[in-house]
Amino acid sequence: CNPLRYPVIMSKDSYVTMTAGSWFAGAVNSAVQTAFVVQLPFCRNNVINHFSCEILAVMKLACADISGNEFIMLVATTLFILTPLLLIIISYTLIMVSILKIHSSEGRSKVFSTCSAHLTVVIIFYGTILFMYMKPKSTETLNSDDLDATDKLISMFYGVMTPMMNPLIYSLRNKDVKEAVKHLLKRKVFNK
């Protein structure tokens, strides 16, 4: 909301503190989740039906009541996913109010272009994570193979596709990159 004061607001101390806080919160969350999952008895197949060691896939292997683990995961999801998302929504609301105060349509267009790229990445990332971790428990009664395939696809989307699309989304705002992509697409279409 105050672009001219950005270097003062985002000093080295502030971004180092935010980065260290993110790493610390992630480490604590992972340690707590792991500690609770390690205590579960596993008496079925020990092969995780997933691309990675996803916590939900590991919990499905347990042969005990995992409601405590699910509650811990709900609390973690609320703290580490919904809270940052709420802060992003509040931030974007304030940004939109500031943008609407800009008198020139060219200025508004430029700011909306910058914000829309970031907002696209945020929606894709948080949308898939919320779908994965906040889906109703009743879906677990559906066909397990279909559910496992969906979980794998969603996990791959937020774990691989979003980081891979991030540079592409941001670079397409650059005029030179846009022209190069248009040139490449025209060449491909006309060569066929």
Distance separating alpha carbons of residues 162 and 176, to the nearest angstrom = 23
pLDDT at 186: 81
pLDDT at 137: 59
Say which residue, 148 or 19, is predicted with more confidence.
Answer: 19
Asked whether the predicted pLDDT for residue 102 surpasses 90, the reply is no
pLDDT at 86: 92
Distance separating alpha carbons of residues 15 and 103, to the nearest angstrom = 32
- 17 confidence band (pLDDT: 50, 70, 90): very high
Q: Domain limits at 185?
A: 3-191
Give the chain's mean pLDDT. 79
Q: Please compute the mean of the pLDDT values over residues 157-181 and round it to a whole number.
A: 75
Contact predicate 108/96, CB 8 Å: no
Q: Please compute the mean of the pLDDT values over residues 15-41 and round it to a whole number.
A: 91
Asked whether the predicted pLDDT for residue 141 surpasses 50, the reply is no
Distance separating alpha carbons of residues 95 and 192, to the nearest angstrom = 45
Q: Please compute the mean of the pLDDT values over residues 146-163 and round it to a whole number.
A: 74
pLDDT at 190: 65
- 142 confidence band (pLDDT: 50, 70, 90): very low
- 139 confidence band (pLDDT: 50, 70, 90): very low
Asked whether the predicted pLDDT for residue 187 surpasses 50, the reply is yes
Structurally, how many domains does the chain consist of? 1
Asked whether the predicted pLDDT for residue 146 surpasses 80, the reply is no
Distance separating alpha carbons of residues 137 and 35, to the nearest angstrom = 23
